[in-house]
Structure 1
Amino acid sequence: MTASPRTAPVIAFRADASRRIGSGHVMRCLTLADALTAQGATCHFLCRPHDGHLIERISAHGHQVHRLPPAEEDHDEVASAVAGEDAPEHADWLGVEWPVDAEQSRHILATLRPDWLVVDHYALDARWETIVTPEGCRVLVIDDLADRAHRADLLLDQNLGRWASDYAGLVPEVCRVLVGPAHALLRPEFADWRDTSLARRQHPRLRHLLITLGGVDADNVTRQVLDSLSRCALPDDMRISVVMGATAPWLDDVRAQARRMPWPTEVVVNVDDMARRMAEADLAIGAAGSTSWERCCLGVPTLTVVLADNQEGVAQALADVGVARHLGDAEAFAETLPFELAACQEPATLASLSQAASRLTDGLGTGELVRHLISLPMEERHDA
């Protein structure tokens, strides 16, 4: 029997944000969801309300959110229960055992009958995807690690240095694998600001520094960066902008440090004009996460700080191709920062970094992925 065709595609997302997970997974899914909605799709998010979740932000974009039950209170007990040789390294990020999450998600997805299920979660793998995926639904996995199997029809890994062959044996042979920053999920304003940003870098000077170290920054690295900057030699007319998320636990501490800085330093929260702010910055100090591709699209010279183990490879790859200069992790950057800042006061250094960065992505990857997701006729997807 063939189900009645629908007039618009339905896309379901399984992604979480928390103080531990960070905001990047949900934010890149939100970028994709917004683009899909603009093409007529209806998007639903399945999220667990961890401490630091972004459920209200997703709802504010007009997408429906299905709240999974709160995580177990005893984190150590959950971690012990999911531990094992066959468990993903980040299995305890779910807050419950994965079969529990699968059963809870399966009921919701059976009702939604989505055309595509988008999975962006380091704690989930092929076992979960097999259980929850309704018949006729295709699966897009967004990953960065290449460390576990997936039941995917399409996989995106937007990281520099990744090869499709890294997923050989981890996905079905028929799975299409998209790799590299050219496919990065960026909001349309980054492509819109690209020409303006690149044009102003023809004669670079270091006068405006932008700091973006993640929406959460659970370890208060932003405060450490500001403290180290206060002891560096910078131009007298320097100004500093810090962008953070509203759920950042050390926000007040960062604001207090900003008031003590030798240069005018602003701290802004949950900005909706990040592309403009990046385009107007001469140099960024940023985490080696998803915002790396935003900066590359705009040709922003960057000093990268590693905030999580999975960012080390990206930071090193960026440094190897001359796109950014690698400061190290939170324990190392205080030593390297003064030397790297001195180098970035040379116009030639800023120009070289900008030109290399701008070649990695033009900011159009989201539109390409949307075409993949909505190109298959609806009636083909729901044949039963």
Structure 2
Amino acid sequence: MRLLLRCDAGPSTGVGHAVRCAAVAEAALLSGHEVFWSGRLDGLDWLWAGLTPSPGRGDGPPGTVLAPADSADELVALARAHRIDAVHVDHYLLGPDLLPALAGAGVVLSTVEDFTTGRRPGDVVVDPNLGAGDHSRPDDGSGLLLRGPAYAPLRASARRARDRRATRVAGDGAPRVLVVMGGTDAAGLLPRVVAALAAAGVPAEVDVVVPAGARESLVLPGAGPVRFRAVPPVPDLPAAMVDADLVVSAAGTTVWELCCVGVPMALVRAADNQAEGYRTVVAAGAAAGLGGTGDLAVPDGAAAVLRDLLTDPAARGALAARAARVVDGAGAGRVVDAVAAAAGAAAGRERPAGELRARPARTGDAGLLLAWRNDPDTRRWSRSHGEVAPDDHRRWLAASLDRDDRLLLVVADDRGPVGTVRWDRDPDGWEVSVTVAPERRGERLAVPLLRAGEAALRARTGAGTPVTAVVHGANDASAHLFARAGYADDGRGPDADGFRTLHRTL
């Protein structure tokens, strides 16, 4: 699939639309799709730097950057010129005429709305807000509705941070606080939040993320029990959340990353379109509410809420536990899968071109699997380097197919077999082994092969399944594969044979 992402970022619009599109771009690239961008995306080097790398990418967005399209006609022209299969629009100001215009060009429209804000008809409609499914939506000819935090498009770094947060041990010193009012602080809330934290009067170590345009105007208090430090926008914000005891945030896109990581948060309603999302998250007990811009004009009310949180670790823990249950971090992949399926159907195909299909292995696969297992490159990076005899392999395969703690898959596309994925249950979850068919190497199929295997395991075990990969330190190709797929080192280093263990949660 050739996917075009349409969004803008800037002082008036903020950067949330671009952050959500960046997560969709990551998921699309990891599934083997091509990504194109249309929009005004200057000043986002910090965002691109934090994404999972893709081969050949420079300092800009992952994919190909095209001119901004500000109307249905301009979007159709871009789609036709670049043979686009689907357009994903995360932009409030484009009109409701996109669906018929793109349909006439044979292009699928995926569109993002936040309750009623940005609403337009689409082949795929995404509303990632908590409680979105509880609101009626007019029948406007839209196709598939993806509503709720299960479809919140989050960067791979949020899932990695979630795993790290789960093993974090809180310190004994003053609480660590992270303040982030979005990539631009369009509402000018940083001074008011800083004033409320200072008025709380509780010892705390506070990092304030200050966008470039606010650095000269923000003055941090230099005395008192709260110690403030200004930091620039960070490429991997979810990683910065891991060690925070509390995050004070605007109630925008960052909320879903905070939920995924499982961090206690206090939210500020920074814009009118955040009102419903703010209300539902606070009502669910997943965040404390500090009110809107007017409520912070006098810091006393917000200071009282912050004081209670900073002095009550149990209250912070309860917020974090409820938040972590809201979002699992796999929303971007679900959105991409839905758009790819819609694009395939629109083109009259049963599935998108190049999509991989995983099925359980059968006894008739013995010869194929043995040839892949005995390939010299496969044996080179295995714990056992010797060739396997045919009779031994047939016995192994027969035993594997009868095991409940092993899932052995053969993965293929329209051209034939692509490789195999094997899952073995262990105390840490399920360990994966991936083999690309020797004759299909060089086609950039490793990540889609792994993703097909992950989808098959998820269908069997459900979301939230912990998985591991064991990779030799000298095997750069496998290390790159699992890094792109969001697997993180457990920090224990290589074992005596040079193998490292990587972790991820499906």
The 8 Å contact of residues 287 and 305 in structure 1, kept in 2 or not, is answered as yes
The answer as to 2:176 corresponding to 1:251 is no
The 8 Å contact of residues 8 and 39 in structure 2, kept in 1 or not, is answered as yes
1:92-103 matches, within 5 Å, as: 101-103=71-73
Which residue in the other structure is 1:93 paired with?
Answer: none
Which residue in the other structure is 1:66 paired with?
Answer: 66
Per-residue CA deviations over 1:238-266 (Å, capped at 9, x if unaligned) read 211122444xx222222x32656754323
The 8 Å contact of residues 204 and 282 in structure 1, kept in 2 or not, is answered as no
The 8 Å contact of residues 247 and 264 in structure 2, kept in 1 or not, is answered as yes
2:117 and 2:306 map into 1 onto residues whose CA distance is 35
User: Secondary structure of 1:117's match?
Assistant: strand
1:351–1:55 Cα change, 3 Å: closer
1:66 and 1:316 map into 2 onto residues whose CA distance is 37
Which residue in the other structure is 1:319 paired with?
Answer: 282
The 8 Å contact of residues 187 and 271 in structure 2, kept in 1 or not, is answered as no
* CA RMSD across the alignment: 2.8
Q: Give the superposition deviation at 1:377.
A: 7.7
- Aligned counterpart for 2:153 among listed residues 182, 185, 192: 185
The answer as to 2:133 corresponding to 1:163 is yes
Which residue in the other structure is 2:198 paired with?
Answer: 230
2:224 and 2:87 map into 1 onto residues whose CA distance is 46
Which residue in the other structure is 2:80 paired with?
Answer: 110
1:291–1:147 Cα change, 3 Å: closer
The 8 Å contact of residues 139 and 154 in structure 1, kept in 2 or not, is answered as yes
The 8 Å contact of residues 113 and 127 in structure 2, kept in 1 or not, is answered as yes
Which residue in the other structure is 2:331 paired with?
Answer: 365
Amino acid aligned to 2:318: S
Q: Give the superposition deviation at 1:329.
A: 0.8
1:302 and 1:141 map into 2 onto residues whose CA distance is 28
Q: Percent identity?
A: 26
Amino acid aligned to 2:72: A
Q: Give the superposition deviation at 1:216.
A: 0.8
1:56 and 1:295 map into 2 onto residues whose CA distance is 18
1:346 and 1:109 map into 2 onto residues whose CA distance is 54
User: Secondary structure of 2:178's match?
Assistant: strand
The answer as to 2:35 corresponding to 1:43 is yes
Q: Give the superposition deviation at 1:349.
A: 0.8
Q: Give the superposition deviation at 1:55.
A: 8.9
The answer as to 2:303 corresponding to 1:338 is yes
The 8 Å contact of residues 98 and 109 in structure 2, kept in 1 or not, is answered as no
1:23–1:229 Cα change, 3 Å: same
- Aligned counterpart for 1:150 among listed residues 102, 112, 120: 120
The answer as to 2:269 corresponding to 1:306 is yes
Q: Which has the larger radius of gyration?
A: 2
1:56 and 1:264 map into 2 onto residues whose CA distance is 25
The answer as to 2:188 corresponding to 1:220 is yes
TM norm structure 1: 0.79
2:172 and 2:327 map into 1 onto residues whose CA distance is 21
User: Secondary structure of 1:286's match?
Assistant: strand
Number of paired residues? 336
1:112–1:165 Cα change, 3 Å: farther
The 8 Å contact of residues 116 and 139 in structure 1, kept in 2 or not, is answered as yes
TM norm structure 2: 0.61
User: Secondary structure of 1:155's match?
Assistant: strand
2:83 and 2:215 map into 1 onto residues whose CA distance is 41
The answer as to 2:103 corresponding to 1:128 is no
2:10 and 2:103 map into 1 onto residues whose CA distance is 25
The answer as to 2:208 corresponding to 1:242 is yes
1:47–1:377 Cα change, 3 Å: closer
Which residue in the other structure is 1:194 paired with?
Answer: 162
Q: Which structure ranks higher in relative contact order (CA pairs < 8 Å, sequence separation ≥ 6)?
A: 1
User: Secondary structure of 2:200's match?
Assistant: coil
2:45 and 2:155 map into 1 onto residues whose CA distance is 19
1:297 and 1:201 map into 2 onto residues whose CA distance is 18
Give the strand-richer structure, 1 or 2. Answer: 2
1:282–1:169 Cα change, 3 Å: same
User: Secondary structure of 1:257's match?
Assistant: coil
Q: Give the superposition deviation at 1:165.
A: 5.2
The 8 Å contact of residues 293 and 361 in structure 1, kept in 2 or not, is answered as yes
The 8 Å contact of residues 115 and 132 in structure 2, kept in 1 or not, is answered as no
